[in-house]
Homo-oligomer: A and B are copies of this chain.
């Protein structure tokens, strides 16, 4: 029953106050900082690269094209594809997507290797994302190269790609466990020869927000090119880390739909935009088609056979559901009391629970109005007590609560049963 998006089957009622939603004064934008890119960032959408490394992912060409087109329509700036060296089909898929004529720039992601770079250029992409491990851990246990060799190869590969006229990014892997001086020296060298972006990657998913802020802010003082960031989710901080990177001056954030990727994935596109729309509402709403988030997530969830997590920002089935009495009461007065995200921005609706032991009479009063009944506040309070008494004994459905309300209303003296009006539009189908 979960993970199916906002369903009609729950015990509650959508509120009718969407139309009157007022964005309150926003304390979440913070003091302005001229290096911050919170209101001026670009998304490198990597569902078709990082996402293909997700355990369940097997994208055939048709699915890849469908996903690429949806992301393009949504408004992402870049779409990153699996290396054309990974397999023959990966190469063919790169070529196919690069030739679709999308507005988004098409990137592919390769090892720092001249052979890989040639194959990438041959695939017809707009830009190439080059990566190499720079931490001691990866230098010893993965490729076995030293920093001198890494720098030399990086310069060669970047020069080659630039020579073909393509955009080129150079990134370290496992940046947060790399030696800071090594890292800055390397980035300074590639910046000097005109790389378009350097990348910071929390490959093992363990960086913390203030650590991210400090590294990116330091790097911002060393290079003049753009700064791309990539955060894994192992310790649950991928959205927060991306946000702090932008505060520090990063320009690009890697995302994937639902965050799919190696292990438990990276910064999720939807959750990231939930974060950003709070801090930069005008930028985000004018640039990205937020109402498409649910359909894009559904497309990818189906392709990799997962359910949207019940607690997903925006699209989790309960993201806009309110239950406790004091919450429900305030939400019905003014949604901004317990919501800053406006569900209408995402083509969704809020939902106020009233059939539980935690219910308050204000939520019940709204339901009474939805049922077209006319009752005084005291009567609403009395019927609320009856609903709570039953909810104390067993889980109750919307029908149970409605029955209690209708029965109570039926037994009222005739004079008080005046039909109310004007609220029928709030009733859940």
Contact = CB atoms under 8 A, between A and B. Distances in A.
Residue with the greatest number of chain B CB neighbours at <10 A, chosen from A89, A262, A311, A327: A311
A243 B334 CA distance: 31
A271 interface: yes
Residue with the greatest number of chain B CB neighbours at <10 A, chosen from A240, A241, A333: A240
Contacts of A247: 208, 210
B317 A55 contact: yes
A373 interface: no
A319 B210 contact: no
Nearest to A350: B263
B243 A142 contact: no
Interface residues on chain A, size class? 35 or more
Interface in A230-277: 233-241, 243-244, 247, 258-260, 262-265, 268, 271-272, 274-275
Contacts of A54: 318, 323
Given A24-B137, A52-B358, A235-B275, A307 B2 contact: yes
A136 B243 CA distance: 27
Interface in A341-360: 341, 351, 353, 356-358
B87 A141 contact: no
A369 interface: no
B206 A2 contact: no
A313 interface: yes
A367 interface: no
Nearest to A329: B142
Contacts of A208: 28, 30, 240, 243-244, 247, 275, 279
Contacts of A264: 310-313, 316, 318-319
Contact of A341 (B86, B235, B244): B235
Question: How many copies of this chain are found per oligomer?
Answer: 2
A263 B319 contact: yes
Nearest to A324: B53
Contacts of A317: 55
A28 B392 CA distance: 46
Contacts of A340: 204-206, 234
Contacts of A334: 137, 140-141
A321 B142 CA distance: 17
Interface in A120-142: 133, 137-138, 140-142
A90 to B, nearest CB: 7
A82 interface: yes
Contacts of A55: 10, 12, 317-318, 321, 323, 351, 353
A278 interface: yes
A78 interface: no
Contacts of A329: 142
A394 B61 CA distance: 11
A424 interface: no
Given A90-B357, A210-B244, A240-B240, 16 more contacts: A2-B306, A3-B307, A10-B55, A52-B358, A86-B325, A137-B337, A143-B326, A205-B340, A208-B240, A209-B210, A209-B240, A210-B210, A210-B247, A234-B339, A234-B341, A309-B310
23 contacts: A12-B55, A24-B177, A28-B176, A55-B317, A55-B318, A56-B318, A58-B394, A86-B357, A141-B330, A142-B326, A205-B340, A208-B243, A233-B311, A234-B274, A234-B340, A235-B239, A235-B274, A235-B278, A235-B341, A236-B239, A258-B311, A309-B309, A309-B312
Q: What 3 A-B pairs are tightest by C-beta distance, nearest first? A: A240-B240, A309-B309, A236-B239
